[in-house]
Amino acid sequence: EPSTGKTCLPKALLNLSGGKNDTIPVLLDIAEKTGNMREFINSPFRDVYYRGQTALHIAIERRCKHYVELLVEKGADVHAQARGRFFQPKSEGGYFYFGELPLSLAACTNQPHIVHYLTENGHKQADLRRQDSRGNTVLHALVAIADNTRENTKFVTKMYDLLLVKCAKLFPDTNLEALLNNDGLSPLMMAAKTGKIGIFQHIIRREITDEDVRHLSRKFKDWAYGPVYSSLYDLSSLDTCGEEVSVLEILVYNSKIENRHEMLAVEPINELLRDKWRKFGAVSFYISVVSYLSAMIIFTLVAYYRPME
């Protein structure tokens, strides 16, 4: 279809019976014999709603790992970006934002077996560090689809950790969680700004026991005595100084976050606020109150005792 860019391959993938369509191998065989395999399987949709979507996206959405493997073996672009209106956030009139990339789609639809294949196959591996047109990584995409329900939080946090650890092992010099999007937000900052308390709480309390990637933990057990224990928390990006925006600043000053009172009660944020109040917040507040009251008293007395003409 010249107007939409849709070929017979995406149509075949959209019409599966029992997870299969016998015409798909035939179509790929014809494309291989005519010498236009890569062009055939990587032909993107061109219409405004599904622009950029490829056959690989559809195979992932249909949860058909055997077709995902077949397409990747034949040269499918594992970094194709689906940017159509349908794939934009709901706040912008879209329906399902998943981060544009095939890997992000597999992660956001809870398909760890396809995530493993895309990042480990021997043909063309998906780069975990790849960012979409918004600068979002696959971790940002997971934060975007989080909705604070129990089931959603369970799968999102599990997938988040899987990808974070996998990236650390494949690319030891890169901390996937530290990459910022076009708005200057890390996944943690994005969770704070959008009120995603489930994934937010998980990130700041994350404790990893695997020694190879233990540096990714944000919570470290200091000591334990029976049921009592003490933990140390990594406060990096939670409370910063200088030009860098901190998570605490986002929570305190962003009144659009409906559940920010709940997020501020999450440890170690709550204890951090208490500590700040005890050390200098209370003193600053009382000085401001005394200064204000003194000024008001002085102005009141001046106005009351001013000479009458």
In this chain, the answer to whether the domains covering 1-126 and 127-265 adopt an identical fold is yes
Residues of the chain with pLDDT under 70: 1-3, 5, 242-243, 308-309
Q: How far apart are the first and last CA of the chain?
A: 90
Contact 8, 27 (CB under 8 A): yes
Which fold would CATH assign to domain 1-126?
1.25.40
Buried b (16+ CB within 10 A) or exposed e, 220-240: eeeeeeeeeeeeebebebbbe
Contact 65, 115 (CB under 8 A): no
Task: Provide the token pair at 123.
Answer: 């043909």
- pLDDT for residue 71: 95
Buried b (16+ CB within 10 A) or exposed e, 260-289: beebeeeebbeebbeeeeeeeeeeeeeeee
| pLDDT tens-digit map of 188-244 | 999 999 999 999 999 999 998 888 888 888 888 877 888 887 888 888 888 877 667
- DSSP for 197-249 reads HHHHHHHHT-----GGGGGG-SEEEEEEETTEEEEEE--TTTS--SSSPPHHH
Q: Where are the domains of the chain?
A: 1-126, 127-265, 268-309
- pLDDT for residue 88: 94
Angle formed by the axes of helices 65-73 and 23-34, to 10°? 0
Query: 227-235 contacts: CB < 8 A, separation 24 or more?
Result: 233/204, 233/205, 233/267, 233/268, 235/268, 235/272
> Which residue carries 């204000």 as its tokens?
292
CATH for 127-265, options being 1.10.3210, 1.25.40, 1.20.120, 1.10.287: 1.25.40
3-state helix, strand, coil in the chain (%, to 5): 55, 5, 40
Task: Provide the token pair at 134.
Answer: 């918004």
Question: What is the amino acid identity at position 162?
Answer: L
- pLDDT for residue 3: 64
Closest CA to 47 of 88, 96, 6, 78: 6
Contact 129, 174 (CB under 8 A): yes
- DSSP for 139-156 reads HHHHHHH--S-HHHHHHH
